[in-house]
Amino acid sequence: MPKFTIDLTDKAVAALQALVAEYNGNTGAQLTVQDWLSLHVKELAVSRQLAAVIEPLRQQTERDAAAALSAAIGAARDELIAGLGGN
């Protein structure tokens, strides 16, 4: 596997450490700066493919939610009508 080395200033490392600490706090992860950089480089590498997958998933989720809402409204309507008694 290829290995890359980069040089960073102390100021850049301090800024990255703050970002990593925030990321770790938000996610419960325990990443080092090196781990965090590796993760984000990989995320950049797949970002276009992920974007292509997201839109169809979003659309399907919206269709599913609309169908579930429609079914819930229909069930509530039927229950309210049945509560009136008679036919």
CA distance 39 to 42: 5
CA distance 68 to 35: 41
Q: What are 8-52's pLDDT values in tens digits?
A: 999 999 999 999 999 999 999 999 999 999 999 999 999 999 999
User: What amino acid is encoded at 36 in this protein?
Assistant: W
pTM: 0.63
> Phi, psi (5° rounding) for residue 85?
80, 175
The set of residues, in sequence order, having a beta carbon less than 8 Å from that of 36 and lying 6+ positions away, is 16, 19, 20, 23
| Banded pLDDT at 87 (limits 50, 70, 90) | low
